[in-house]
Amino acid sequence: DIRMTQSPASLSASLGETVNIECLASEDIYSDLAWYQQKPGKSPQLLIYNANSLQNGVPSRFSGSGSGTQYSLKINSLQSEDVATYFCQQYNNYPLTFGSGTKLEIK
């Protein structure tokens, strides 16, 4: 199985700040990586796919980058509605696997 190591586990930032969340795959996943946002009490929603493609309707302050085994999610100009847990997921190989999540709070 491909292990997805996500960091940090939690993050506290101020409104307007830029935050970065990292995901490290245990082997090359060839950019087959998605990022999801899960707001408290809600189902997850797709933000980014193919490592850097923005899903329709997702604000442009969200962006993804990376290749090989290292990937990151960047949130520019943090808004209050960005309070959520963020997960990465690889779909390069079965079984599909998720990172452990990053809980983002506003300082």
Which residues of the shown chain bind other proteins in the complex (CB under 8 A)?
1, 34, 36, 43-46, 49-50, 55, 85, 87, 89, 91, 94-98, 100-101
Cα–Cα distance for residue pair 4/103, rounded to 1 Å: 16
Residue with tokens 């990022």: 35
Q: How far is the CB of 16 from other proteins (least distance, A)?
A: 27
Q: How far is the CB of 42 from other proteins (least distance, A)?
A: 8
DSSP, collapsed to helix, strand or coil, labels residue 82 as helix
Residue with tokens 């990292």: 22
Q: How far is the CB of 61 from other proteins (least distance, A)?
A: 20
